[in-house]
Amino acid sequence: IRTLAGHTDSVCSVAVSPDGQWIVSGSCDKTVRVWRLSDGSPARTLAGHTNHVFSVAVSPDGQWIVSGSCDKTVRVWRLSDGSPVRTLAGHTNHVFSVAVSPDGQWIVSGSRDKTVRVWRLSDGSPARTLAGHTYHVQSVAVSPDGQWIVSGSWDKTVRVWRLSDGSPARTLAGHTNNVFSVAVSPDGQWIVSGSCDKTVRVWRLSDGSPVRTLAEHTSDVYPVAVSPDGQWIVSGSRDKTVRVWRL
């Protein structure tokens, strides 16, 4: 349909605003860019990070962009005009992944420092630090009911935490290589994870039990997503394919 050109280095993350008007992208060129989805035209460039921007998210109300960077910070920007709102500092290494809770109250970030952190979106204050992973936290997600944080790590595990107090709920073991991505189904029943062991796995969120392993990719699985109707899993791989599976 269209190609959006402007970044000067790899694009690491993309998100779409809830109203479907805007595309947000984060790049190794240290910028976040906002584009009109309708025609692909550039709207604004958000500069302030001093290293690669690995992850971007948009708040459910469409007001805020959240970005995570290798400069060890999480930043919040106003989507309407791209102005910087606040910088969240506390991680001691690269921030690989960010997410916003469905109620718009919390930012969740995962880092190479092996922790998951929770921040108040309203003022950027740190709420809690979730420690337990033994290697990089590559991906984070929040369940649709806002009760659970899910994280995927290079320690080969997926972990589930209570958002309310940060306590660990369960550890999902089974992958035999780095877990690169996690997603939660819209009904909150299933966790989906993608790994460098070439598989996609489905787990029951309620108890962490493994449900099935999807093994057709021939190389590392990087991103995974679940369709809004909860019927389909989509995965992307280093094998140069995108695959669609019935959940």
* 108-123 residue pLDDT tens: 999 999 999 999 999 9
Residue-wise pLDDT tens digits, 153-189: 999 999 999 999 999 999 999 999 999 999 999 999 9
pLDDT tier, 145 (very low <50, low <70, confident <90, very high otherwise): very high
What global pTM score does this model have? 0.95
> Residue 40 is part of a domain; what is its CATH number?
2.130.10.10
Residue at 55: amino acid letter:
S
Domain boundary among 131, 157, 187: 131
Question: Whose structure tokens read 């877990």?
Answer: 179
pLDDT digits (tens, 9 = 90+) for 15-50: 999 999 999 999 999 999 999 999 999 999 999 999
Same-domain pairing of 19 and 113:
yes
What is the pLDDT at residue 1? 86
Same domain, 88 and 143: no
Number of structural domains (the chain) is 2
Please write the tens of the pLDDT for every residue from 54-109: 999 999 999 999 999 999 999 999 999 999 999 999 999 999 999 999 999 999 99
